[in-house]
Structure 1
Amino acid sequence: MTDTSKGILALIAACTIWGLSPLFYKALSDIAPLEVLAHRTLWSLAFFALVLMLQNRLRVLWAAVSDFASVRVIALAAIMISTNWFLFIFSIQVGRATEASMGYYIFPLVAVLIGRVVLGEQLSRAQWSAIVLAAVAVLSLTIGLHIVPWISLMLATTFGVYGLLKKRLDLGPVVSVTAEVLILSPIAAVWLIYLHFGQGGVFGDDTVQTALLMTSGPLTALPLILFSYGARRLTLSTVGIVQYINPTLQFFCAVAIFGEPFGPIHMIAFALIWTALVIYSSSAFRQDKARRKARMVSEAEVVVSTKSSNDESAKP
Structure 2
Amino acid sequence: MTHDHGHIRGGLLLGLGAYLLWGVLPLYFKALDHLLPTEIVAHRIVWSLLFLGPLVMLWKRWPAIRRGLGSIRIMATLALTAALIAGNWLVYVWAVLNDHLLEGSLGYYLNPLVNVLLGVVLLKERLTKAQTFAVALAGTGVAVLALGAGDAIWISLTLAGSFALYGFFRKVAPVEALEGLSIETALLTPLALGWILWLEGSGQGGFTSDPLTTILILLAGAATAIPLLMFTAASKRLPYSTLGFLQYVAPSIQFLIAVLLFGEKLTTAHAVCFGAIWTALLIFAVDGLRAGRAAARERAAALKAAACAEPCRVP
TM class by smaller structure: 0.7 to 0.9
Alpha-carbon RMSD: 2.7
Shift of residue 236 of structure 1? 6.2
Which deviates further from its counterpart, 232-241 or 214-223? Answer: 232-241
Alignment partner, residue 24 of structure 1: 28
Shift of residue 112 of structure 1? 1.3
The counterpart of 1:286, out of the listed 286, 290, 315, is 290
1:245 partnered with 2:249: yes
Instruction: Return the TM-score normalized by structure 2.
Output: 0.87
Given that residues 20 and 250 in structure 2 are in contact (C-alpha distance below 8 angstroms), is that contact kept between their aligned partners in structure 1?
yes
Alignment partner, residue 216 of structure 1: 220
The counterpart of 1:121, out of the listed 115, 120, 125, is 125
Change (3 A) 1:189 1:299: farther
Alignment partner, residue 71 of structure 2: 67
Alignment partner, residue 158 of structure 2: 154
Q: Show structure 1 runs of 5+ residues with no match.
A: 309-316
**In structure 2, C-alpha distance between the alignment counterparts of 1:184 and 1:244, rounded to whole Å:** 29
**In structure 2, C-alpha distance between the alignment counterparts of 1:214 and 1:294, rounded to whole Å:** 53
**In structure 1, C-alpha distance between the alignment counterparts of 2:78 and 2:10, rounded to whole Å:** 30
1:145 partnered with 2:149: yes
Change (3 A) 1:84 1:291: farther
**In structure 1, C-alpha distance between the alignment counterparts of 2:31 and 2:83, rounded to whole Å:** 25
Shift of residue 57 of structure 1? 1.0
Which deviates further from its counterpart, 92-101 or 120-129? Answer: 120-129
1:82 partnered with 2:98: no
**In structure 2, C-alpha distance between the alignment counterparts of 1:55 and 1:49, rounded to whole Å:** 10
Shift of residue 290 of structure 1? 4.5
Report SS of the residue matched to 2:172: coil
Shift of residue 198 of structure 1? 2.0
Given that residues 49 and 58 in structure 1 are in contact (C-alpha distance below 8 angstroms), is that contact kept between their aligned partners in structure 2?
no
Alignment partner, residue 268 of structure 1: 272
Given that residues 112 and 247 in structure 2 are in contact (C-alpha distance below 8 angstroms), is that contact kept between their aligned partners in structure 1?
no
Q: Which amino acid letter does the alignment assign opposite residue 219 of structure 2?
A: T
Report SS of the residue matched to 1:41: helix
Q: Show structure 2 runs of 5+ residues with no match.
A: none
Change (3 A) 1:13 1:276: same
Which deviates further from its counterpart, 29-38 or 169-178? Answer: 169-178
**In structure 1, C-alpha distance between the alignment counterparts of 2:46 and 2:300, rounded to whole Å:** 46
CA deviations over 1:215-258 (Å, ceiling 9, x no partner)? 11111222234445666676766544433111000101111100
Change (3 A) 1:292 1:177: farther
User: Among the aligned pairs, what percent are the same residue?
Assistant: 34
Which deviates further from its counterpart, 49-58 or 90-99? Answer: 49-58
Q: Which amino acid letter does the alignment assign opposite residue 136 of structure 2?
A: V
Q: Which amino acid letter does the alignment assign opposite residue 169 of structure 1?
A: A
Alignment partner, residue 256 of structure 1: 260
Change (3 A) 1:49 1:290: farther
Instruction: Return the TM-score normalized by structure 1.
Output: 0.87
Shift of residue 277 of structure 1? 0.6
Q: Which amino acid letter does the alignment assign opposite residue 283 of structure 2?
A: I
Given that residues 104 and 152 in structure 1 are in contact (C-alpha distance below 8 angstroms), is that contact kept between their aligned partners in structure 2?
yes
**In structure 1, C-alpha distance between the alignment counterparts of 2:190 and 2:299, rounded to whole Å:** 47
Report SS of the residue matched to 2:206: coil
Q: Count residues with an aligned counterpart.
A: 306
Given that residues 237 and 288 in structure 1 are in contact (C-alpha distance below 8 angstroms), is that contact kept between their aligned partners in structure 2?
no
